[in-house]
Amino acid sequence: MPRLNLPRIRPSEITAERYFHMRRDLLTTALGLATVAAIPGAKAAVPAAPGAPLTYTRNAKYSVTDKANSFEEISGYNNYYEFGTDKSDPAARAGSLRTRPWMVTIAGEAAKTGTFTIEDILAPHPLEERIYRHRCVEAWSMVIPWVGFPLADLLRRFQPTSRAKYVQFTTLLDARQMPGQRSGVLDWPYVEGLRIDEAMNPLAFVVVGVYGRVLPNQNGAPLRVHLPWKYGFKSAKSIVQIRFTERQPANTWAISAPNEYGFYANVNPQVDHPRWSQATERHIGGGFFAARQPTLMFNGYADQVASLYQGLDLRRNF
């Protein structure tokens, strides 16, 4: 897939991140309303309706007490480049994704490998709801009531060997269903990876739903992961392969922009993105002019995950 050859931009020419997103969101809203108004009988696009209800229990141990964002905010404002680079593209375009039938391949350093249906993957696992903080590297955040089960429970089923030091996740590659893959903005398919101990941490979560219902396509249906102490791009969506490896996977964003996106992607307010600060964040739903909030180390999950990185330089390993 061809890559974009973008010119270098001088730091003085770069709009501050806060005003860039504010301006873009205001322009997008204004343009959308103007377009709709110009078409007789047209209605503004809205996020897909919630999916079928799921049976689950609330896990308060791993849930924050912050107020969750609305379903409309969660499903209507997304990063999912397989459907486009604008925040509204996934909700507008993800209806083309077919989530049944769906197959997931387990490969690499494990005793049990092969290709399984999504029903095989999900069947043994009771579902629970966890309300997690979500932090994007673009310095916006949400609070999301995910439904799913621990990633460790899934991975243990396939008996990774002692050679399995990392877990690699690969997203579906099908430009007919994912129109954003027709662009060269990234090298497709999307690939992410974790150290095996990160993947086995109790916070690491396999997601199949939100707000008690089946996950909408634009949020990564039918199967995604979420690591609440990492930036959102580490949470692979629409997964079709899980591979256990001895070597660190080359994840998509680290290949595309290695000076901006490292392998670890831990939320660290002390390490700025090259084009904006990570010290504060804008909570979606708080309004364009709401006060920004201080970003918490590991997104507020330091007690649970800081021990994973003892002795690791988190500035060099960002």
- Give the span between the Cα atoms of 192 and 300, in whole angstroms: 22
User: Cβ distance 273 to 260 under 8 Å?
Assistant: yes
The sign of the CA dihedral 274, 276, 279, 280 is negative
- Give the span between the Cα atoms of 127 and 150, in whole angstroms: 9
- Can you give the pLDDT at residue 288? 74
- Can you give the pLDDT at residue 287? 80
Peptide bond into 145 cis (omega under 30): no
Contacts of 150 (CB under 8 A, 6+ apart): 202, 204, 205, 206
The domains located in the chain, with CATH, are 45-309 (3.90.420.10)
Secondary structure (DSSP) of the chain = -PPP-PPP--GGGSPPHHHHHHHHHHHHHHHHHHHHHTSTT-----PPPP--B---EE-GGG---SPPPPHHHHHHS---GGG-SSTTHHHHHGGG---SS-EEEEEESBSS-EEEEHHHHHTT---EEEEEEEE-TTSEEEEEEEEEEEHHHHHHHT-B-TT--EEEEEE---TTT-GGGGSSSSPSSPEEEEEHHHHTSTT-EEEEEETTEEPPGGGTTT-EEE-TTBBGGGS--SEEEEEEESS----HHHHH-TTT--SS-B--TTS-BTTB--SEEEETTS-TTSPPEEPPGGGGTHHHHGGGGTT--TTT--
**CA neighbours within 13 Å on the CB side: how many for 228?**
29
pTM metric for this prediction: 0.85
- Can you give the pLDDT at residue 244? 98
The sign of the CA dihedral 80, 84, 88, 93 is negative
Among 105, 108, 106, 104, residue whose Cα is nearest residue 245: 108
- Can you give the pLDDT at residue 2? 39
Read off the tokens for 191: 């690939």
- Give the span between the Cα atoms of 148 and 208, in whole angstroms: 5
One pLDDT digit (tens) per residue for the chain, 318 residues: 433 343 333 333 333 443 334 334 433 333 333 333 332 333 333 455 679 999 999 999 999 999 999 999 999 999 999 999 999 999 999 999 999 999 999 999 999 999 999 999 999 999 999 999 999 999 999 999 999 999 999 999 999 999 999 999 999 999 999 999 999 999 999 999 999 999 999 999 999 999 999 999 999 999 999 999 999 999 999 999 999 999 999 999 999 999 999 999 999 999 999 999 999 999 999 887 889 999 999 999 999 999 999 999 999 999
